[in-house]
Structure formats: C-alpha cells, structure tokens
Amino acid sequence: MLEAPASRRPGGALSVLALLILAVLIAGAAFVAGMAVGGGNDGGIGQAQPSASVRESVTPVDTGTPGPTPILETITCAEPSEAFAVLCQAYAEIRESYVDDISDEALVDGAVRGMIEFGLEDPYSGYLPPSQYGEALDDLSGEFSGIGAEIGIENVDDPADLGSCTVVTQDCVMVVIAPLAGSPAEEAGLRSGDQILEIDGTSTLGETVSTLVFEVRGEAGTDVTLTIERNDEVSELTITRAVIDLREVESEILSAGVGYIRLTAFTGRSSGLFTQALGALLDQGATDIVFDLRGNPGGYIDDAQGIASEFVAAGELLFTVEHEGSVQRWESEAGGRAQDAAIGLVVLVDAGSASSSEIVAAALQETQRATLVGQPTFGKNTVQVWSELPNGGGLRLTTGRWFTPSHDTVADGGVIPDQLVEAPADPTSDADPQLDRALEILSGD
C-alpha cells in the first residue's frame, strides 16, 4: 500500500490502521492491524482484515459525520448522471413493483455493498453496516473479545491478481496473516498461512472477509471451530474466545551488549512505547539490537515512520501515491535513539510481517541500516482509511499505495530478507534459528 498521506485525515474520516493487508483481526473489531496503513489520530486497532490487526487501548476520536462532498451535489435521482440513471431507475422499479415490502435502508445497504464488492475489485476496501461498524468502534478502545488473529484473503492461483478476490472462492482463500502473541488463536495452534475453509461447519465460500470476521468473533468464553487447510491437510481447531489485551512491545537484554525488542502491532501508541523500550535497552548498555517484527500484521503509517526514524538518521523512508497521482514523501525524523550506525541492527521478519512492518523492514534494508533475517514478508502495499457514513455504517476505502525509498513495491513477493532462514516446523519448539542467526551476525560471524 503506497499512497499519499493517509494519516490524520479531517472531516470525519476515522483512519483505522491503514497498511497493507486486508487484515482482519478476528478479535472483536472489524478492521485492524495490518490492514490499513494510513493511520488516524491516536486511534487503535481492533481487528479485521490484515487491518491489520492491531488492538490497543486507545480511544477513537469522534469527529462527527462528514457533510456532503461536492460530487454528491451533482448526483441525484432528480437529475442523475447518465451512469447513475440506471441505479435510480432500478430503485424506482423496485419501490413501485417488487412483490414484498422492503426498506430503503436495506436497498441502500445492498447498493453500497455492490459498489464495493463488485465495482472496485479491491479486496482491501469494504463496508460495514451500522450494527457492525458500531462494534468495530467499540473495539478500538483496546479491549475486545475474539480469538486474536489477523485475517486476509489470498489468490492462490494467481497471487498477482488479488484485485479479483472480492469474495472467498476456491482460488481466493481466507488466510491467517498472523495470530497475535499470547492470543487464544496462537495457543490453539493457528499459524500464519493457514487457510480457513469453514467456520462452525459453514463454508467460507461466497462471503467477504469483512463479513466472515463477524462469524469468528464473539463473546469471551464461547467456542468457535475453524476448519483449516495447512500443507494440503485439512483439520479442525476449536478456539475459546477471550478478551484480548494487546501487548505491543516486549524487550530484554539477551546477552552482554545485545538488546532484543519485539513489536507486535503498529497502534496509535506503539511508536512511543517502542521509543521508551529502545531507550531503556540502550541505557542498560546495549550496543546492538535485534528488532523482531515476525507476526506483526501492521497498523498506522505514522507509527511506521516514527519507529523507522529511531534508526535512520535522515532521508526518505517511503512515499505514498494517492488519488489522481498525488504523492506524499515520508522522511526520517530527527532525534532517533539508535541512528548511530555503530549500533548494530538485525531485523527479523516472516510471512506474518505485513503492512507497516514491511514499510519499516524495507526502509531499514534499503538505507543499509539493518540486515534482514527470516522469511519473505506478506506483501501488502496499499493504504486504507475508514469513514463513517450518514447511516452510521463505515466505509473502508483504499486511498493509496506505498513504495520503498528505491520505488519498489512489496505487492509481489513481499520484502526479501538479506539472509533466508527457516523457522522450526514445530511452532511450539524452543528452537529459534532465525534469532540465533541474528546473534551470529551481530557477533561478527
């Protein structure tokens, strides 16, 4: 997702984590971490499509319902444009002749869904009706219930043609981007790359990921059974939903002079928490840093800029291209605690690293500030922004695409590590060859 500045937009647009992945944090909100990259004020992340998936204790800012835009004043059913005359005529015929009673609200809801799902051909744009959007906003407060996993959609037949995947089909599968650390999903054994075939025995085929997220979420203490496919084998996982408390940052001194810091999501507060943790490691004598972005589905683009700036002294970190080709450049900010090149830096990534994680990883790699170790990242280069509609529903719209400093896109293949290292086949294993390799690099081996 590379697009023009998508953060801090006025006029009632509630930007919920905007970055790459149509991630769905099956936790309790509808679109969160990972799925949107152009962050909003100090919003949080709730769940929902590889929006990505980030949840945190942040209260959303109520900016009110946006007023009509100039283009709306030119499109009415009294004097419709040639294209909209078809819509207005269809509405009139339904109201005049349809055999059963139907409300305007139901017709509008269907029309909006149709525009998004079939008109845009964009799996990252979406619509939530008032009931679901309200729940999504509640989850932005940071406490939500669910299984705690980032969900997205993937074209297994033609990965480059994600635009055709507006609903789940045999080729466009519902896929786990990453389970959140310590979540019920992780504890039950759900892994990045798992394909979700059924939810409580009902097939996911024909549904949008946005809708399916609300089938997975639910009250804490209740169970949901997911039928998954992994390595061509189908199995069932029953997961007990719980209240998810996101811990964005974990840090410790691993050995003399080596600090370890893990970031699980780019929420509205992640940059500040990361800066504090990094500073504490340096104050304790760390001269090298292992920065773990594995399983991080993304979040706010602002946080990506702030966190990358901790290590990059100056220059462009990324740029976004938005509507009608407008471009915004995101530069490194002064004052980073680890901008000195003498501080060694290795970044760990994997297929669960998406959206903002990819922005940071690519920026640190291309500025030659860090060595990347692990597996190729998810590959999401679009930015989404949420806006509240007059009916109380929510529109999640892709507003741009982001590119690396050298003008590369991560849409195909993700960010490729400098050193490819496989993770253990058993996720419960204590072995961590990727971390081991990072420590070897920092020691000069």
Predicted confidence (pLDDT) at residue 64 exceeds the cutoff of 60 = no
Q: What is the C-alpha radius of gyration for the chain, rounded to an integer number of angstroms?
A: 22
**pLDDT value of position 71:** 55
Q: Kindly report, residue by residue over 344-363, the tens digit of the pLDDT.
A: 999 999 998 999 999 999 99
Asked if residues 355 and 379 have their Cβ atoms less than 8 Å apart, the reply is no
Asked if residues 150 and 24 have their Cβ atoms less than 8 Å apart, the reply is yes
Predicted confidence (pLDDT) at residue 40 exceeds the cutoff of 90 = no
| Bridge partner residues of 322 (DSSP) | 400
* Global pTM exceeds 0.75: no
Q: What is the DSSP string of 317-340?
A: EEEEEEGGG-EEEEEPPTT-TT--
Q: CA-to-CA distance for 27 and 241, rounded, in angstroms? A: 8
Asked if residues 146 and 26 have their Cβ atoms less than 8 Å apart, the reply is yes
Predicted confidence (pLDDT) at residue 160 exceeds the cutoff of 80 = no
**What's the average model confidence in pLDDT over 435-441?**
96
Q: CA-to-CA distance for 155 and 174, rounded, in angstroms? A: 9
Asked if residues 24 and 151 have their Cβ atoms less than 8 Å apart, the reply is yes
Q: Kindly report, residue by residue over 2-38, the tens digit of the pLDDT.
A: 222 333 222 222 222 222 222 233 332 222 223 333 2
Predicted confidence (pLDDT) at residue 48 exceeds the cutoff of 90 = no
Residues of the chain with pLDDT > 90, as a percent, come to 50
**CA proximity to 357, closest of 444, 280, 263:** 263
Q: What is the DSSP string of 14-42?
A: E----SS---EETTTSSS-TTS--S--SS
**What's the average model confidence in pLDDT over 170-176?**
93
Q: Are strands 242-245 and 288-292 parallel, antiparallel or unpaired?
A: unpaired
Question: In angstroms, how far apart are the furthest CA atoms of the chain?
Answer: 78
Which structural domains are found in the chain, ordered by start?
Answer: 70-115 (no CATH), 245-318+334-379+409-442 (3.90.226.10)
What is the torsional sign of CA 137, 140, 144, 150? positive
**What's the average model confidence in pLDDT over 211-218?**
86
Q: CA-to-CA distance for 265 and 378, rounded, in angstroms? A: 15
For the ranges 139-143, 156-160, 268-272, 294-298, the lowest mean pLDDT is seen at 139-143
**pLDDT value of position 306:** 96
**Quick count: other Cβ atoms within 10 Å of Cβ 284?**
12
In the structure, what pLDDT confidence band is assigned to residue 190 with cuts at 50, 70 and 90? very high
Asked if residues 147 and 183 have their Cβ atoms less than 8 Å apart, the reply is yes
In the structure, what pLDDT confidence band is assigned to residue 430 with cuts at 50, 70 and 90? confident
CA dist 370 → 250, 347, 434, 442 (Å): 20, 7, 15, 11
CA dist 121 → 17, 108, 167, 208, 437 (Å): 21, 19, 10, 12, 41
